């Protein structure tokens, strides 16, 4: 999970060095990181790399003007949710209307009053904070507190894009609790919920960079960035052993186990997409189940599975 109270970032895009110095002075003491860009091209680049909570955007930029830059920001899924406040010396009402219609949330006229500037920036940050809280709650699993399938689908697209862009490995681990239906039938659904919660705690308690998600039912997914299949296998094996070692209150002799399937971007024999990674990790998980459960299998050792075997992967 992300840091609970990170310092918010504000990016000022204005071709005037004086404006940047004024902003630095007048926002001094505010709890934020202030970054600057003096061209629309640099501003667009920093918007993507920094992903600030708020952008202060001048309308009258050389080359690409503020309206054109805002349009590009709203077209990109990585930047479309950033709050944009226009700052401009123009007092034209139609400029304000146009900016707000395009998705800007506020407008500050130059020369700006220090108190008004701080108040509007704080308001924008509060709004962004509430929006992110709502978005996060919609992406969390209610029982386990892990990221849910919706978040997993979005994050896989992002992580694969980053892995391709920076030529770094990415691993995907699927984990399935062994004989979970039998546990539910024998001990009841409240105990089944406890098993899901305990397994989720272990999966989310690994490396800080690992992204644990509840994929559905008793199945979980782990996204391991900058991790090849050998490293990922070690991670999965540690998690498997931890799950096997859980002591269950009221059932000290009970041993709950889980099976793991893993693939990475370096061992795929087809296009790297979320679908192909899921298919390969699922094939490896199926092999772990067929080989006796409570084990870790990698896609490179199950790449020669027959189509018939792959079609049975949902029968766990």
* Catalytic annotation, residues: 218
Rounded Cα distance, 84 and 73, in Å: 9
* Peptide bond just before 59 cis, omega within 30 deg: no
Residue 188 DSSP one-character state: -
296-298, strands of its sheet edge to edge:
211-216, 219-225, 170-177, 258-264, 296-298
Q: Which helix (H) or strand (E) holds 107?
A: strand 106-109
Q: Which residues of 286-312 are buried (b: 16+ CB within 10 A; e: fewer)?
A: bbbbbeeebbbbbbbebeebeeeeeee
Rounded Cα distance, 207 and 231, in Å: 12
Comparing C-alpha atoms, which of 162, 116, 164 is closest to residue 268?
164
**Two tokens at 215?**
């994929």
SS (H, E, C) 171-184: EEEEEEECCHHHHH
Tell me how crowded residue 315 is: count the other CB atoms within 10 A of its CB. Answer: 8
């Amino acid at each position: 999970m992300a840091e609970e109270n990170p310092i918010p970032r504000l990016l000022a895009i204005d071709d005037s060095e004086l404006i940047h110095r004024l902003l630095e002075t007048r926002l001094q003491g505010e709890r934020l990181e202030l970054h600057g860009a003096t061209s629309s091209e640099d501003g667009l680049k920093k918007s993507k790399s920094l992903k600030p909570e708020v952008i202060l955007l001048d309308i009258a930029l050389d080359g690409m003007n503020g309206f054109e830059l805002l349009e590009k920001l709203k077209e990109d899924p990585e930047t479309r949710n950033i709050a944009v406040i226009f700052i401009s010396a123009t007092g034209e009402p139609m400029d304000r209307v146009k900016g707000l219609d395009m998705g800007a949330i506020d407008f500050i006229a130059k020369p700006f009053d220090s108190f008004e500037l701080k108040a509007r920036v704080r308001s924008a940050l509060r709004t962004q904070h509430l929006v992110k809280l709502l978005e996060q709650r919609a992406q969390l699993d209610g029982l386990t507190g892990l990221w849910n399938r919706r978040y997993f689908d979005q994050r896989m697209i992002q992580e694969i894009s980053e892995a391709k862009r920076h030529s770094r490995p990415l691993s995907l681990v699927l984990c399935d609790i062994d004989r979970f239906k039998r546990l539910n039938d024998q001990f009841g659904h409240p105990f089944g919920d406890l098993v899901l919660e305990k397994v989720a705690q272990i999966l989310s308690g690994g490396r800080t960079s690992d992204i644990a998600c509840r994929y559905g039912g008793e199945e979980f997914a782990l996204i391991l960035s900058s991790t090849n299949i050998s490293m990922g296998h070690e991670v999965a094996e540690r998690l498997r052993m931890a799950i096997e070692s859980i002591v269950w209150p009221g059932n000290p002799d009970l041993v709950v186990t889980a099976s793991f399937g893993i693939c990475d971007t370096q061992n795929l024999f087809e296009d790297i997409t979320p679908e192909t990674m899921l298919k390969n990790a699922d094939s490896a998980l199926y092999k772990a189940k067929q080989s006796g459960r409570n084990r870790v299998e990698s896609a490179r050792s199950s790449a020669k599975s027959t189509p018939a075997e792959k079609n049975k992967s949902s029968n766990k």
